[in-house]
Amino acid sequence: MRHPSHKQALILMMIAPAMWSSAGVLSRLLESARGFEVSFWRSFFAGLFVAIALLAQHKSKALSKVKSLGVYGAFSGVMWGAMFSCFMLAITMTTVANALIVESLAPLLTAIFAWIFLRETIPARTWVAIFVACIGMVWMFIDGFSKLDTRGLIGVILATCVPIAASTNVIILKKGGQDVDLIPAVFVGGALSACLMLPLALPLTASLHDIFILAVLGVFQLGLPCMLMVHAAKGLSAPEISLLSLLEVLLGPLWVWLAVGEVPATATLVGGAVVLAALIFNELTALHLERQLKVSDAEPAESEEATAEVAEAA
């Protein structure tokens, strides 16, 4: 599969968090499934969907694609599994707001990791966008901060695993995903998470209605968008990927507002506007610089053609 252009990757990386953000609305439709069982079924169906996609694309070579993941792929699979599991565990011990605030550290961590491990020069505009977005995220959920007891502190520590795993995974996608297909790593992550959650989810009590909703979550809220992210990573910088991922938390409250009439707090609206402004600023600046670069590259070529035409005429 050829690498996407920056514009194509940008579109894919906007679609992915938009799909991730549907979790809040879809989970409201569940009748009895909760906590660990939700995480188990969601991871199970995500892994199953990616496995079917791999079989459809590679047929008899699908298993060999998983086996040939190598060190980068195996590590990426572990990171996906950690992300799929830790957030769900965290919100059983602390508030969703606290967990999301911790998760918003991902762009900053990704930029630091990219600078250290990829030797990637981070533009000043991206640093500005990261810090502004982090301020907006904290503002969005400032009303959700609560006094942490021991259980809440453990929840925050577990939530910290999510941005660390997400940032590490982005670096892996950039470092190893250019030459190796890391989509099978999403399958590995789903399988690991399902195996980890199953003992904690027993006995399984989900109704057929709930299993259908969880299947939709596994396919369209987890498996497919994660595959889109892996492909988009080939055309975006590491900080861009992580910044655009914040759209998930930005859009989540919006879908719940539109679907079930839960009006978000003023702080959520103001903070969301700040995050959105930071994302738009970063991407529009990047696109403007990309166009300028294309124009500057085209000008010497046009000059050479004109010189050649004059020479021929002479």
DSSP string, 269-305: HHHHHHHHHHHHHHHHHHHHHHHHHHHHHHHHHHHHH
pLDDT score at 48:
96
Measured distance CA(294)–CA(111) in Å, rounded: 26
Q: What is the pLDDT of residues 123-141, one digit of tens each?
A: 888 888 888 877 887 776 6
Is the pLDDT at 106 greater than 90? The verdict is: no
- Of 25-29, 175-179, 272-276, the poorest mean pLDDT is in 175-179
Number of domains the chain contains: 1
In a domain, 297, yes or no: no
Distance set, CA 269 to CA 19, 51, 97, 140 (Å):
20, 39, 14, 7
In a domain, 295, yes or no: no
pLDDT score at 125:
81
79, 187 in Cβ contact below 8 A?
Answer: no
DSSP state of 218: I
In a domain, 238, yes or no: yes
Answering whether pTM is above 0.75, one says yes
In a domain, 290, yes or no: no
In a domain, 308, yes or no: no
Burial class (CB in 10 A: 0-12, 13-18, 19+), 206: buried
More confident residue, 129 or 289: 129
Is the pLDDT at 144 greater than 70? The verdict is: no
Q: What is the pLDDT of residues 188-231, one digit of tens each?
A: 999 999 999 999 899 998 999 999 999 999 999 999 999 999 88
Contacts of 154 (CB under 8 A, 6+ apart): 93, 94
In a domain, 139, yes or no: yes
Structural domain span for residue 41: 6-281
Measured distance CA(74)–CA(62) in Å, rounded: 16
In a domain, 1, yes or no: no
Measured distance CA(84)–CA(126) in Å, rounded: 27
- Of 61-70, 97-106, 181-190, the poorest mean pLDDT is in 97-106
In a domain, 252, yes or no: yes
Is the pLDDT at 308 greater than 60? The verdict is: no
Contacts of 293 (CB under 8 A, 6+ apart): none
